[in-house]
Amino acid sequence: MSLITEELKAKAEYYQGDKLCQEKSKFLLTEMGLPNGLLPLQDIEECGYVKETGFVWLKQKKSTTHKFEKIGKLVSYATEVTAYVEPKKIKKLSGVKTKELLVWITLNEIFVDDPPTGKITFKTPTGLFRTFPVSAFEVEEEVKEKEAVGAVKEI
């Protein structure tokens, strides 16, 4: 059963279409101090953000699995991903699982260390967690652009 109602959509910044939703989701992640490649969804049909509560949702045509190459981890994203976001943190996450050995494990919280140490932590509902470098979840093209801009500023 979907958490997304017409009433909720009326309160939200609501967008449709893959390209626009890709841009908006990456922008929101960056604005919240999270890596922009954390939600590599495909064929996003709609997304929304309720600023007052921090509730976010993304709906894609079909579930997808993504391998984060830098850490060798598989992550599965359901057709509907929901969460509450706040600076440097995602809480009450649903629709995201990671593969550990042969078992898919639900993730429900993600946070970046504060003060920044370059680490990001993923937690399960049972309290288990894993920490990785933030850089493993950043979109490469945009990282290269930032480095190029930084290099130009230094000149």
Each residue of 77-88: pLDDT tens digit?
999 999 999 999
Each residue of 42-52: pLDDT tens digit?
999 999 999 99
Quickly state the pLDDT bin for 117 (edges 50, 70, 90): confident
Tokens representing 89? Answer: 């943190």
d(CA 64, CA 51): 27
Domains annotated for the chain, with CATH where assigned, are 6-154 (2.30.240)
Q: What's the predicted TM-score (pTM) here? A: 0.85
Query: Is the bond leading into 115 cis (omega within 30 degrees of zero)?
Result: yes
